[in-house]
Amino acid sequence: MGKLFGTDGIRGVANRYPMTPEIALKLGAACGHLFKSKDKERVVIGRDTRISGEMIEGAIQAGITSAGVDCIKVGVLPTPGISYLTRALSAKAGIVISASHNPVEDNGIKFFGPDGYKLQDKVELMMEEEILGERSRFISPVGTDLGQVSEIKDAAERYIEFLNRSISSSLDLIGLTVAIDCANGSTSGVVPRLLEDLGAKLIILNANPDGKNINLNCGSLYPEVMARAVRDSGANLGLSLDGDGDRLIAMDENGQVVDGDKIMAICALHLKERGNLSNNILVATVMSNIGLERALKPAGIKVIRTKVGDRYVVEEMQKKGANLGGEQSGHLIFLDHNTTGDGTVTALQLLSVLREENVPLSELAKKMKRFPQTLINVRVRDKTNLTDLLEVMEAITKAENKLGEEGRVLVRYSGTEPKARVMVEGPTAEETEVLAKSIAAAIEKEIGE
């Protein structure tokens, strides 16, 4: 990727480079100029609940309108909702101001094209060149050629209508008790209303955003919060979303985690049985547990792996004609319903399977046996090529030789944070932990922050 854009847009500490109003202003202008045509185009812009969201939103919309492009504000809305409205409103682009699952001090900017898919790398690099260049290639308009700002007041209602169209009209959740953790994020005003309308009895957690509490010890990164709530309440299942609503981690009735891999296995097998899994393919990333392949192979489902990042999953799904893919983190893409990861669509699909198969979530989760996997994140001061780190490569080789064909080792840098991610999969939890710690220690020694 480039100097500003990572695997999911631009992300960093809000009001610190590159997440400053100055960069946001230039980014809005670059976006406006690149998407401008003879007609006055429109760009949709929305955000999550962070305190810095309005600051960045104001700067971006100033940049967009300075390029002679109109800006449509949709307010606080989940990332996939902004993707949907970009398509529905025939906008030239959609902009999301969110740092997803990151803490409140961070924020980010990511883009959707007019088709609702995330922008290709080459388009982002064109914007980056415009921002970092000494002189703009474009002439700024004046007078009546400037863009204008408008606002859609019923964006959440439009998104809820769209979500209802993604499920069978016969689906009802009457008799189900569902615990929901909205991470004090952008699903807080959407998911409770949607599930309540479907008849579920709700136990609602962390749906009172105040600008400062997004992802604060809650949401999909803190499944223990949901585990406690499910066990204490006797709920049939729990659903934990992240701050921008593009991922989901579930909890069965016993308080056991059902992660993205298991949700993919459940949904892939269900779709396959009904002849609705396109080309009998599931697209996952290199981080997905090897147990996913073992669960799907007997059903004739092929698992294709990509590098980490939902944009790469979507690209591979399009190439292979797949309609289901995703990540272990709970970032699932149902292309029959939306063009990007959508935690609420995922929740609805999982609930539909639960209703159709009429068994507890714990039974559905048994469709996949998870192999022991240890994941360690190490903060780093720079992202030196791993092959140039002799002690790290020695630790990796040692682990691979130890595991042989009974496991996997994956070491990579995060695309959005200054971290190295170490993943080791093997026959026992003890062995994977020991090997992962040895690699992490080598990274810490050579390039640790």
Give the phi and the psi of residue 14 in degrees, each rounded to 5. -65, 135
100 is catalytic: yes
Q: Of these residues, 66, 83, 98, 100, which one is catalytic?
A: 100
| Three-state DSSP class for residue 326 | strand
Nearest to 220 by CA among 184, 262, 270: 184
Residue 179's DSSP bridge partners are 203, 238
* C-alpha pair distances (Å), 417 with each of 22, 50, 297, 317: 21, 18, 34, 26
On whether the CB atoms of residues 234 and 206 are closer than 8 A, the answer is: no
Alpha-carbon span 156 to 78, nearest angstrom = 9
DSSP class of residue 445 equals H
Alpha-carbon span 109 to 98, nearest angstrom = 6
* C-alpha pair distances (Å), 303 with each of 8, 111, 280, 287, 444: 23, 28, 9, 12, 33
Nearest to 231 by CA among 205, 201, 255: 255
Alpha-carbon span 368 to 356, nearest angstrom = 19
Q: Which residues are catalytic?
A: 100
